Amino acid sequence: MNQAVSEEHARRLSRLDIEAIEMFISFLKLIGLPKSVGEIYGLLFVSSQPLSMDDLIEKLQISMGAASQGLKLLRSVGAVKVVYTPGERRDHYVADLELSKFAASFIKEELNPRMQRALERIERMEKEALLMEEPEKAVAFQRIERLKHWMERGQKMMPWILRFLVS
Amino acid sequence: MNQAVSEEHARRLSRLDIEAIEMFISFLKLIGLPKSVGEIYGLLFVSSQPLSMDDLIEKLQISMGAASQGLKLLRSVGAVKVVYTPGERRDHYVADLELSKFAASFIKEELNPRMQRALERIERMEKEALLMEEPEKAVAFQRIERLKHWMERGQKMMPWILRFLVS
DNA sequence: CAGAGATTTCAATAAAAAATGAACAAGCGC
DNA sequence: GCGCTTGTTCATTTTTTATTGAAATCTCTG
């Protein structure tokens, strides 16, 4: 991780750039985003001007494909905006500084769908448990109760977290 | 994901088992835990008796290594307890039903260390920014302020979440 | 509207992460 | 202490995920 950004890149990346990039690689990995996305966002975050895809490819030494896909993802999450630079052919990109967008997207794309599926699953589990014989049956229902309890807890917490983030 | 648990296993796993296992595979993956850990915890969670490592290997069709390491991890997190069964040679394991342990461990093992490193990084970033020339300098400090703001926000939120989980 | 530049897509490749299984160690009962 | 059962470790293999790069597509602009 300390050598996440190699010497080669240092030619064009400042130390500030590198610190920011490593920081975002580390945090975005936490929510399952690949290194290249962390690199792109990190660099845009510290850059004082908008950067073109070419700038990113050159400074970060990543491929066209990675740059294009990374930007696509970051745009879809609202973490990066396109800036139309008049007289410039290529699009330029800036970081939206609202970091909550990552968390919000994680909740919306990863957490909520799973909770939805979990609720369906719990219903099926209850149906299965009804068919069981008695010593195990009671245990099964107790465990399923537990799951429901945690789901409710999660669902109560989520809007609170979102409000806190957006504030 | 639908075929996460193959037909072969179904011979010995009930439908209830499979639902629980798939559910935990899905949630634990979210915090970066491998499938085998989800399988083990899921099965222990619905099982009405303590299970030995051999039971897990047989029912889940996983290797000794995976079982041993998975149990080690789950024990270290407090999500699984050893039950000494008198007269039995092998150790038996039960799931601790307190699901908050996963979240607490994630915060402790993954989130907090990163935040710590991020704080150090921010200090270094401020030192670097001091050396910059003026138009960029102001921008750099503005961005660094942002980072600090989010760090503080995160640090304020964390104890609250933990309290909520443990309650 | 032709053609160059810019971007996207996606099959192939590389890198990272997880699972296997055999060698090793620990612990129990005789 | 010896032999057997149980549990751990770790180098190797397998699986999964991310990256590359070349072909296809889109889009300005002259």
DSSP A1-69: -TTSS-HHHHTTS-HHHHHHHHHHHHHHHHTT--HHHHHHHHHHHH-SS-EEHHHHHHHHT--HHHHHH
Residues in chain B with CB shorter than 8 Å from the CB of A97 are 143, 146
How far is residue A120's CA from residue B77's CA, in Å, rounded to a whole number? 28
| Percent residues over pLDDT 70 in chain A | 93
CA dist B36 and B40 (Å) reads 6
Q: Say how far apart CA B90 and CA A72 lie, in whole Å.
A: 53
Average pLDDT of chain A to the nearest whole number: 92
Summarize pLDDT for B126-144 with one digit per residue, the tens.
999 999 999 999 999 999 9
Amino acid at A18: I
Separation of alpha carbons B12 and B32, rounded Å: 28
With an 8 Å Cβ cutoff, are B48 and A139 in contact? yes
More confident residue, A4 or B34: B34
Average confidence (pLDDT) over A147-158: 94
Chain D: positions less than 7 Å from a protein CB are 5-11, 17-23, 28-29
**Region A70-86: what's the mean pLDDT?**
94
Task: Report the pLDDT averaged over residues A115-138.
Answer: 96
Strand C nucleotides in reach of protein CB atoms, 7 A cut-off: 5-11, 17-23, 28
pLDDT tops 70 at residue A1: no
* Residue A40 predicted with pLDDT over 60: yes
Q: Where are the domains of chain B?
A: 7-95, 100-166
The pairs formed by A67-71 with CB atoms below 8 angstroms and a separation of 24 or more are: A67/A36, A67/A40, A69/A36, A70/A34, A70/A36, A70/A37, A70/A39, A70/A40, A71/A40
CATH architecture, domain defined by B7-95: Orthogonal Bundle (1.10)
How far is A103 from chain B, CA to nearest CA, in Å? 11
Residue-level pLDDT at A11: 54
Report residue A99's pLDDT band, with 50, 70 and 90 as the boundaries. Answer: very high
Q: Select from B45, B140, B146 the Cβ nearest to the Cβ of A97.
A: B146
Q: Looking at residue B6, what is its pLDDT? A: 43
Tell me which residue has tokens 């504030």.
Answer: A167
How far does A37 lie from chain B, in Å, by closest CA?
18
CB-nearest to A19 from B32, B97, B124 is B124
**Block residue for tokens 């193959």:** B6
pLDDT mean values, one per 10 residues, chain B (167 residues): 41 91 98 98 97 96 97 97 87 96 96 96 97 94 97 92 85
